[in-house]
Structure formats: C-alpha cells, structure tokens
Copies of this chain bind each other. A is one copy, B any other.
C-alpha cells in the first residue's frame, strides 16, 4: 500500500507553528521583539518542548531568528531583504500565472472575475481595506490555480516575510491607479488564457509593487522603522 494520502492528524507542534506564524504575520508579535517561551507556553497551555520545536520550524522559514542561549526574536525585515525577496516572488508569480492560465476552470475564472469587480469597486470607493482583501484573494486564487503546492508553499514562505511591510499603508494614488490598470490587463490575459502574457504581467506587476514600496521606503534611513 502506498503511504501517500495518509491522514494528516495535526500534531501539537504543527498547531503551534500555525498559531505562532499567524501571531507574527498579524503583527501581534512585532519585528525585533523577543519571543518569550514561558509566556507563550502558558498562553497556549502547552509545555516548552513542542513550542521550541515550533520555533525551530519558524526559524527555518525565516520568520524568527534564533540566538544561542538568547532565545528567539521576530525577524526584522531589512530593506536589503526586501530587495532580495521581491524579485523571487515576482518570478514565482510569473510561473504561477502561466500555470494558472492552463489549469483554472471556467468557474474559477468567473470567481476571480467577481473578486476583480469587487476590487475595482473598492478602488472607486477608495476603500483600502476592502481593496487589500480583494487583491489578496485574487493573487491567492491565481497562486492556487497553478495547482502546484510546492510553488504555493515557497510563495507563501516569501510573501509572509514581506507582508508585514504593509504595502497598502503607503499606497500612493498614482501607484494605486497603476495597480488597477495592471490588474485589468491581467484579467484580459486570463480571459483568453494567454499564459505567457499573464505570467509576464504578474511578474512586472510584482516588480512595480516592489519599486513603489522601495520608493516609499526611500526617506527612511535604511532600517525598518516600526509603525
């Protein structure tokens, strides 16, 4: 009997990885902060062992940094790291776009179309929160549409590290309008299933997002200012 398709009973440390990851992504634990094992243990009602195992995993993902005998700190995202990460995300999205074009069902494309409409509507209303959510959904749908869980994993790994950078906070009107135009073009390509076209657009879309973000960071000394 092949041992694929075995039931995946979530073990304690896996649960913790998930919870901790969310804490970091949702900024409940802020970059640079210490991650106090003791407090988290009683907060989650678990012993230190599984929590430490979870921290090791988070560290290998780069979300936290372990210092020998000095515990874990939430990783800070430096500007240099952003510069290194965005191009990688960009080429992954390029690939995802190509694959999604080939693999998405008509129904799924319709769904994305709807979310796209929501997003445009949110843009008209200048509703940043709704826009951000719809945008996220669309990108996620395209990534998932690639039908490549490994691609998805690596994309999530990279995206989770820069998500904290909060692109939306400093979204200029110009860039916003440009982003909408780019999304329109993406939808055009998706409708006719032009995979290379969509891939290219998603790549440049991400690089533009990156450029805008770096521009926004420009005034800053170079390190990440908090809040």
Contact = CB atoms under 8 A, between A and B. Distances in A.
Interface of A: 1-4, 6, 9-11, 13, 17, 32, 49, 52-54, 56-57, 59-62, 65-68, 73, 76, 78, 81, 84-85, 87-88, 91-92, 94-95, 99, 148-151, 153-154, 157-158, 223-224, 226
A88 B84 contact: no
Contact of A4 (B10, B17, B78): B78
Contacts of A60: 17, 57, 60-61
A158 B154 contact: yes
A12 B68 CA distance: 10
A62 B154 CA distance: 11
Given A56-B13, A68-B11, A2 B224 contact: yes
Main secondary structure of the interface of A (DSSP, over half): helix
Contacts of A87: 95, 99, 148, 151
Nearest to A55: B53
Contacts of A65: 3, 6
Contact of A92 (B17, B68, B76, B88): B88
Contacts of A224: 2
B88 A148 contact: yes
B154 A154 contact: yes
B158 A85 contact: no
Contacts of A54: 56
Contacts of A2: 76, 223-224, 226
A13 B72 CA distance: 14
B4 A223 contact: yes
Contacts of A226: 1-3
